[in-house]
Amino acid sequence: MSGGDDPRGGADWRPTAGMAAVALRARVLAEIRAFFAERGVLEVETPLLGAATVTDLHLASLETRVDGRRRFLQTSPEFAMKRLLAAGSGPIYQICKAFRDGESGRRHNPEFTLLEWYRPGYDHHRLMSEVGELLSRVLGVPAPETLSYREALERHAGIDPFGADARDLAGRARELGLAGLPDLGDDRDAWLDLLMSYTVEPRLGRGRPTLIYDYPPTQAALARLRGTGDEAVAERFEAYVEGVELANGYHELRDPAEQRRRFAADLARRRDRGLPQVPVDERLLAALAHGLPECAGVALGVDRLILLAAGASCLDEVLAFPHQRA
Amino acid sequence: MAYSTNQFKGGLKVMLDGDPCSIIDTEFVKPGKGQAFVRVKLRNLSTGRVLEKTFKSGESLDEADVMETEMQYLYTDGEYWHFMVPDNFSQYQANAAAMDDTVKWIKEEDMCTVTLYNGHPLSVQPPNFVTLTVTETDPGLKGDTSSGGTKPATLETGAVVRVPLFIQEGEVLKVDTRTGEYVSRAKE
């Protein structure tokens, strides 16, 4: 990727995406808006700059100052949209920019376009169906297959993700011949993420979308848990098309005390790992205390959706100006 | 100086398991939620071997004290090959391991790219194109400048390349050292 000046002596001012891809983006956005208009889902906007941000260990927020006060570019509009839901908005969607530091690659750009929507009264399975309908509409793909997380890892990596310990998972990664493995120690979730990223994901969504649901409780993020002990699963799902991870959704956690515990646990783990501390979103917690309706929500990467619609392999082909040329 | 995975890019020289390596390519992956990884393809500059390593995003590697410098080849004493930096006349000696295949392409006064590691030559790259005299080849067919046939020719440095049938002993040839292929007769 060219970083600086081009050989003709000028700065690299030109878009990396062709005009056909620029036009395709406009069509995909119009299609998404028509999809939600027909279904009576309201388009909303929420701030990109927030006083608080996510505590998730694996999301790095970009920080700036407004009138001298610390502000965070949002990694997704989730917290603000939940405040609208708690205030009685009904079903809502948003198309906005999201920002994640340190995420740059063929399918990552530190600023990207996210489609996020919430459905009061839905659980994750009902929302998964709607994700499948949206994908059919925009990409013309057939109805999705659905696999539980356990089935996906058993089928594509040959291991039970709930029964295996870190040693088993590390051994399986070696058997699968994954190259130059990092030392992930006894971090089960990191081993699972490694197997998921390098072995399972490339096999998902081939010919039709794959929806993966019911994740290990340690990977719940903001999803609610179902069951207890060995039976517990997080009601979270992901959507894949042609090996590309496209969407992440939850049957949303509504319990403010549980939400506060998860924030605190994230912050403690951030401290252990020397990651920055971030302010907890007290306004979200207050909204949950007021009452979030039973709902499911999902965030879908629009740039990747356009990449798939264009049959491209690298985001540069569908972003007018990727980060290196921003 | 250490580089974090998000600073990795092609051409960066880093230390891996005690050896200096050059990064060829990197690929960032991340599951929907959770740990991100960077898979890196590197060339071990000591052995020339290409290897793949997977890192947790955010891990770091120390910079390798590796520098590429243009130097003029002076002579060999049989054990070492001697080079000089034209700007400041400082001299370096490379051993046979550092020279590797390069010995068969260069002659005195040729400019080479010498990779220094902690101040010592680690590897020596010949120029992309060299001009060398044919010292030995079968007579072949005089006047045949069109047929596609080739024959081996030994050059003054000892390298053997495939050349067209019309090439004669004593001719000066341009050769691409990256492919080891004949390019043309050298225009003197």
Taking CB atoms and an 8 Å cutoff, what residues of chain B touch A194? 35, 37, 54
User: Are the C-beta atoms of residues B3 and B14 closer than 8 Å to each other?
Assistant: yes
Distance (Å, whole) CA A199 – CA A176: 8
Q: Which residues pair with A49 in a beta bridge?
A: A73
Burial pattern A14-39, b for ≥16 Cβ within 10 A else e, equals eebbeeebeebbeebbeebeebbeee
Pick the CATH number of A10-144+257-325 from 3.40.50.1100, 3.40.50.620, 3.40.50.2000, 3.30.930.10: 3.30.930.10
Test A182 with B54 for CB contact under 8 angstroms.
yes
Task: Tell me the per-residue pLDDT of A41-84, one tens digit each, with 9 for 90 and over.
Answer: 999 999 999 999 999 999 999 999 999 999 999 999 999 999 99
User: Are the C-beta atoms of residues A193 and A185 closer than 8 Å to each other?
Assistant: no
Domain with CATH 3.30.930.10 in chain A: 10-144+257-325
Test B52 with A179 for CB contact under 8 angstroms.
yes
Long-range (24+ apart) CB contacts under 8 A made by A62-66 are: A62/A99, A62/A100, A62/A101, A62/A110
Q: Where are the alpha helices (DSSP H) in chain A?
A: 19-38, 78-86, 124-139, 149-157, 166-175, 188-195, 256-272, 282-291, 302-310
Q: Does A55 touch chain B (CB under 8 A)?
A: no
Give the chain A residue nearest B58 (alpha carbons): A102
Task: Tell me the per-residue pLDDT of A302-313, one tens digit each, with 9 for 90 and over.
Answer: 999 999 999 999
Q: How far is A181 from chain B (nearest CA, A)?
A: 5
Distance (Å, whole) CA B133 – CA B135: 6
**Residue spans of beta strands (DSSP E) within B138-187:** 150-155, 160-164, 172-176, 181-185
Test B31 with A221 for CB contact under 8 angstroms.
no
Test B30 with A103 for CB contact under 8 angstroms.
yes
User: Are the C-beta atoms of residues A315 and A109 closer than 8 Å to each other?
Assistant: yes
Test B27 with A105 for CB contact under 8 angstroms.
yes
List, as ranges, residues 38-67 from B with C-beta within 8 Å of A. 39-40, 51-59
Which pLDDT score is estimated for B11? Answer: 87
pLDDT < 50 regions, chain B:
none
Burial of B178 (0-12, 13-18, 19+ CB in 10 A): exposed
Test A238 with B32 for CB contact under 8 angstroms.
yes
Q: Which residues pair with A116 in a beta bridge?
A: A94, A299
Nearest CB to B35; choose among A178, A193, A221: A193
Nearest CB to A104; choose among B28, B32, B37: B28
This model's pTM is above 0.80: yes
Determine which of A62, A116, A124, A193 to mutate to test the interface with B (most B C-beta atoms within 10 Å): A193
Taking CB atoms and an 8 Å cutoff, what residues of chain A touch B40? 180
Q: How far is B127 from chain A (nearest CA, A)?
A: 22
Which pLDDT score is estimated for B149? Answer: 83
- Residue type at A304 in one-letter notation: R
Task: Tell me the per-residue pLDDT of B50-62, one tens digit each, with 9 for 90 and over.
Answer: 999 999 998 999 9
Burial of B37 (0-12, 13-18, 19+ CB in 10 A): buried
Nearest CB to B35; choose among A103, A190, A238: A190
| % of chain B exceeding 70 in pLDDT | 95
pLDDT < 50 regions, chain A:
1-5
Task: Tell me the per-residue pLDDT of B86-113, one tens digit each, with 9 for 90 and over.
Answer: 999 999 999 998 998 899 999 999 999 9
Test B55 with A106 for CB contact under 8 angstroms.
no
Which pLDDT score is estimated for B144? Answer: 57
End-to-end C-alpha distance for chain A, whole angstroms: 13
Distance (Å, whole) CA B98 – CA A91: 68
Which pLDDT score is estimated for A2? Answer: 42
Test B53 with A102 for CB contact under 8 angstroms.
no
Identify the three-state secondary structure at position A101.
coil
Biggest CA–CA distance in chain B, Å, is: 71
Q: Does A4 touch chain B (CB under 8 A)?
A: no
Burial pattern A224-235, b for ≥16 Cβ within 10 A else e, equals bbeeeeeeebbb
Q: What is the CB-side half-sphere exposure of residue A310 using CA atoms within 13 A? A: 26
Shortest CA distance to B161 belongs to which of B136, B140, B144? Answer: B136
DSSP code at position B169: T
Based on its alpha-carbon atoms, the radius of gyration of chain A, rounded to whole angstroms, reads 20
- The pair of structure tokens assigned to A270 is 């951030």
DSSP code at position A200: I
